[in-house]
Amino acid sequence: MKTKHLHRFGSYTLDVEERVLFREGKPVALPPKDLETLLVLVENAGHIVEKEELLERVWPGVFIEEGNLSRRIFNLRQLLGVDADGRTYIETIPKRGYRFTAVLEGDAVDTSSGATASPSQVNPSLSKRSFHLWPLALSIALAATAILLSRHFWIQETASPEKVMLAVLPFENLTDQRDDYFADGLTEEMIAQLGQVQPAKLGVIARTSTVRYKNTKETAAQIGRELGVNYLLEGSVRRADGRVRITTQLVRASDQTNLWSQTYERPVADVLRIQREIADKITYSLSIRLLPVESNTTANSSANFESYDKYLLGLHDLGQGTRDSINLALQHFQEGISINSNDARIYSGVGEAYEALTTYFSSPTEVMPRVKAAAQQALQLDPNLASAHVLLGDVHLLYEWNWPAGEKEYRRALELNPSLPEAQLGYAAYLGTLGRFDEALSHVQQAYFADPLAIDSRNDALWIYYFSGRMNETIEQSKKAIELAPAASLPYAMLAMADAQLGKRSEALQAADNAVHFAKSPSVVATAASAVAQVGQRQHAKDLLNLALEMAQKRYVCRFIVAAAYSELGEKEQALDSLELGYSQRST
């Protein structure tokens, strides 16, 4: 008799023989070394597994730094979430190792007949819950095929070399407050540059997660644990009298050892060359075999500090996220282009600014053609600029509805810089659009690894969780987003939608009220209206929808979301009218 051993905990089932993790009966995309680590911990559930044993079991006969193990634990905690009591499944035992805390249920299933029982067949409670999706929701017709494809993909995948993970902390501004933009811009540029240096071996955390550590008092060890990184790059910058002084140091997070430090004091026009030298020094210090980074020679020769300064000013204003700040960013970018029209990064900045307007302030038909023009100009100057490929992918996917072209751009961006969260999320949106949700969510997890503390990444991913039908996970992910940003409105709206799908009436109403309280976007209010309508509060839902339409006089609202709210209210004519308007606007 051939048997297979299954370990169940929470909503998960771990098939030891097949080496597959299931969530509610569906396979979970999990990198090989993460799965190996989980297997060892689960097989020793309730007992401490020493770090040395884990390292030897997961990487037998190979010397691996402890930071790689910490990264695997971080990844698993992000994936598994918490148990019914709100505790993490994996407990850290300081200075020793880790313990898997869940109580396991196990089975030995006879598979000698040749048929392999799925976890949902073994345990009916794991079967997929039926649910009602909005009109015009993402198609789920390919979901079953996607599950099989994704399972095949992850089982067949071979282990890739372990990545070294690095976080670039915000550079400290030692001049006056007016130069904050300069220090912040240098930080962002270092992250972008390092992300493309050796993407197969060096992973770099996004600035939206590291910005939280500006002026922090936390130790390197604390930051390393929170971000799941091996190394930190710290720095400061002082600018005066046409010169710049940049001091950097590379720190190993585990023991806070300073591996090297360097001070550069040169004319301010040399700042781009200094960044390149720092990147080279990091890769050499970490013993990463540096491969030549393909680069457009025109882009390299286009360095001009005055235009670069305008670019940094634009990045700073773009990060503020208001209509006025985005318009000011566009002004800075255009001024930079007038000084130097050969810098691809500035055109990419222009595209990012126009795309930011699409989300809250302008319809796609107004600005997405401008995004496309800016991205194409950037790629003409530098074909290897990952951010521009993402922008072009967004245009193809979300505006032109040209899915193959969108896939091509996202995949190229991921080849160039897999640490770029926008690339991971863009490709996830593409996969989700085709109903390939398991694959999509594996890329969502990669975005989380690169940007673990960013609310924007989690906001974008919530829709994918929801349309995949994973209501419990949507709730879990919404709550995590709320923990990161308690005043963020969209997570409350998505929490309300998922609660409504599960019949949790009072929870849905409370979440919807919270969403409206914090909302500045009419699309969020319209989403809350749909949730309220689903739990039978018709008049309240109408009031919320009217509020959304009133807000839409000053801000962009996704008409597809409005149509969904009308549909939940049973007002078919209004829903059709809104669908037609959404189609004409290429709403997203």
- pLDDT value at residue 184: 86
- pLDDT value at residue 4: 59
Amino acid type, 495? L
CA–CA separation, 155 vs 160, rounded Å? Answer: 13
124 and 189 belong to one structural domain: no
- pLDDT value at residue 312: 87
214 falls within a domain:
yes
CA–CA separation, 147 vs 161, rounded Å? Answer: 26
Higher-scoring residue by pLDDT: 326, 456:
326
102 and 192 belong to one structural domain: no
Q: What is the DSSP string of 259-297?
A: EEEEEEEEEGGGHHHHHHHHHHHHHHHTT--PPPPP--H
- pLDDT value at residue 106: 65
209 falls within a domain:
yes
Which residues make beta-bridge pairs with 376?
A: none
Handedness of CA 54, 290, 221, 81 (dihedral sign): negative
Q: How confident is the model at residue 254 (pLDDT cuts 50, 70, 90)?
A: confident
470 falls within a domain:
no
| pLDDT, average across residues 243-248 | 86
CA–CA separation, 320 vs 446, rounded Å? Answer: 25
Contact 498, 534 (CB under 8 A): no
457 falls within a domain:
no
Q: Is the pLDDT of residue 503 over 70?
A: yes
Final residue in a domain of this structure, among 264, 291, 318: 291
Amino acid type, 15? D
Q: What's the pLDDT tens digit per position in 57-101?
A: 887 766 666 666 877 887 788 788 777 676 778 888 877 889 988
421 falls within a domain:
no
The SS3 of residue 138 is: coil
Final residue in a domain of this structure, among 291, 320, 349: 291
459 falls within a domain:
no
Q: What's the pLDDT tens digit per position in 134-153?
A: 333 333 233 333 323 333 33
Higher-scoring residue by pLDDT: 99, 279:
99
423 falls within a domain:
no
CA–CA separation, 389 vs 424, rounded Å? Answer: 12
| pLDDT, average across residues 378-406 | 94
- pLDDT value at residue 3: 54
Contact 445, 75 (CB under 8 A): yes
CA–CA separation, 577 vs 582, rounded Å? Answer: 9
CA–CA separation, 425 vs 437, rounded Å? Answer: 12
Domain span including residue 277:
164-291
Q: What's the pLDDT tens digit per position in 422-444?
A: 999 999 999 998 888 889 998 99
Please state the three-class secondary structure of 82-95 as a single string. Answer: ECCCCCECEEEECC
Final residue in a domain of this structure, among 255, 270, 291: 291
Using CB atoms within 10 Å of the CB of residue 61, give its burial: 0 to 12 exposed, 13 to 18 middle, 19+ buried: exposed
- pLDDT value at residue 146: 34
Mean of the per-residue pLDDT values for the chain? 81
CATH of the domain at 43: 1.10.10.10
The SS3 of residue 255 is: coil
CA–CA separation, 6 vs 350, rounded Å? Answer: 52
494 and 576 belong to one structural domain: yes
Q: What's the pLDDT tens digit per position in 213-222?
A: 888 888 888 8
The tokens for 233 are 């790059």
Q: Is the pLDDT of residue 188 over 90?
A: no
Q: How confident is the model at residue 162 (pLDDT cuts 50, 70, 90)?
A: low
Percent of the chain with pLDDT over 70: 84
Q: What's the pLDDT tens digit per position in 330-371?
A: 999 999 999 999 999 999 999 999 998 876 788 898 899 999
Number of independent structural domains in the chain: 3
Least confidently predicted of 139-143, 198-202, 541-545, 580-584: 139-143
297 falls within a domain:
no
The tokens for 199 are 């993407």
